[in-house]
């Protein structure tokens, strides 16, 4: 069968148009577009991952600092909050925390007498043993299972103005009368403590009456405090207040107060008799 020229040209035209269309589609392949929401999700996930890594680094750095500087941190905290509570100088000779077994020792803790007293210290707490809960060191509340204070030594003094150094310290405490204690805003948020038990043993009291030039040696009975919870300032106030109360009670129980009163009365009488003798001359 003969094919007409017009038919051949039509076939050629069909081939040309088919080739052109195939070339055009090959040059511009169809791209799958990512929805904008998915892109935002991916960027958000990246930001969260980076933030998490930074937080972990900060936490790890904080824990490392705490563990490597814990002796200095404990010493500074005792001196800072103790001095604030008593309004006298509180000093610590040394701190040695053993992180492997959660135990520690505090040596040479002293509380100075207020101004106007011969006794340098109001009391010293000798050797202090501490049993820590290591897991609580990085939490909001540090837990201390047990504190043992051996050989606390109290120096009670009545000066020439008939004032008592222990009573003055007690009145300086946040719970005492006339306390000037205030929490400063610059300190930030104080860490909270929980102390399950504090035990005092083998204590003694040296009581001095300066106007009478008399000294007394007394024993302090063993006692303990349990379930103390609060800021370091609040805990320091409770412990120091209890020591002062115990010492003052023992001094009063031994009749030292009556002896002081009678001695002062005798001194007054002697002074009065001297004045009368001078007037008779």
Q: Name the pTM for this structure.
A: 0.67
Span 135-150, pLDDT tens digits: 887 788 999 999 999 9
How far, in Å, are 107, 130, 150, 153, 222 from residue 202 at the CA level?
16, 17, 6, 9, 7
Beta bridge partners of 164: 158
What's residue 62's pLDDT? 47
- 147 against 5, higher pLDDT: 147
The stretch 245-257 carries a mean pLDDT of 82
In this predicted structure, the answer to whether residue 218 has a pLDDT above a threshold of 80 is yes
Between vectors from CA 187 to CA 184 and to CA 188, what angle results, nearest 5°?
110
Alpha-carbon span 266 to 79, nearest angstrom? 43
> What values do phi and psi take at 40, rounded to 5?
-65, -40
Distance CA 21, CA 31 (A): 18
CB neighbours of 212 closer than 8 A, spacing ≥ 6?
259, 260, 263, 264, 267
261-267 — which CB contacts under 8 Å span 24+ positions? Answer: 263/209, 263/211, 263/212, 263/214, 264/162, 264/211, 264/212, 267/211, 267/212
Cβ-proximal residues to 106 (8 Å cutoff; 6+ apart), any chain:
74, 78, 92, 94, 95, 125, 127, 128, 130
Q: Which residues contact 278 (CB under 8 A, 6 or more apart)?
A: none
Q: CA-to-CA distance for 157 and 194, rounded, in angstroms?
A: 33
More confident residue, 265 or 172: 172
pLDDT tens, 26-81? Answer: 555 555 555 555 655 666 666 666 565 655 555 444 444 455 578 888 899 999 99
**What is the phi/psi pair of residue 105, to 5°?**
-130, 140
């Amino acid at each position: 069968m003969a094919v007409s020229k017009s038919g051949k040209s039509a076939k050629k035209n069909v081939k040309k148009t088919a080739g052109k269309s195939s070339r055009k589609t090959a040059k511009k392949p169809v791209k799958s577009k990512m929805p904008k929401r998915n892109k935002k999700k991916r960027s958000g996930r990246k930001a969260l991952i980076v933030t998490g890594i930074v937080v972990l680094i900060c936490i790890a750095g904080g824990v490392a600092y705490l563990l490597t500087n814990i002796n200095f941190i404990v010493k500074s905290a005792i001196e800072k909050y103790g001095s604030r509570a008593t309004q006298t100088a509180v000093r610590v000779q040394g701190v040695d925390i053993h992180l492997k077994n959660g135990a520690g020792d505090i040596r040479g803790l002293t509380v100075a007498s207020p101004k106007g007293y011969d006794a340098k210290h109001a009391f010293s707490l000798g050797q202090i043993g501490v049993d820590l809960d290591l897991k609580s060191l990085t939490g909001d509340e540090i837990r201390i299972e047990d504190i043992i204070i051996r050989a606390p030594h109290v120096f009670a003094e009545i000066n020439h103005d008939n004032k008592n150094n222990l009573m003055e310290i007690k009145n300086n405490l946040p719970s005492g009368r006339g306390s000037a204690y205030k929490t400063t805003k610059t300190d930030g948020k104080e860490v909270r403590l929980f102390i399950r038990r504090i035990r005092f043993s083998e204590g003694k009291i040296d009581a001095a009456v300066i106007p009478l030039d008399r000294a007394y040696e007394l024993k302090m009975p063993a006692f303990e405090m349990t379930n103390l919870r609060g800021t370091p300032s609040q805990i320091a106030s409770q412990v120091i207040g209890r020591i002062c109360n115990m010492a003052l009670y023992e001094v009063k129980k031994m009749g030292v107060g009556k002896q002081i009163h009678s001695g002062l009365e005798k001194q007054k009488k002697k002074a009065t008799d001297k004045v009368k003798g001078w007037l008779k001359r």
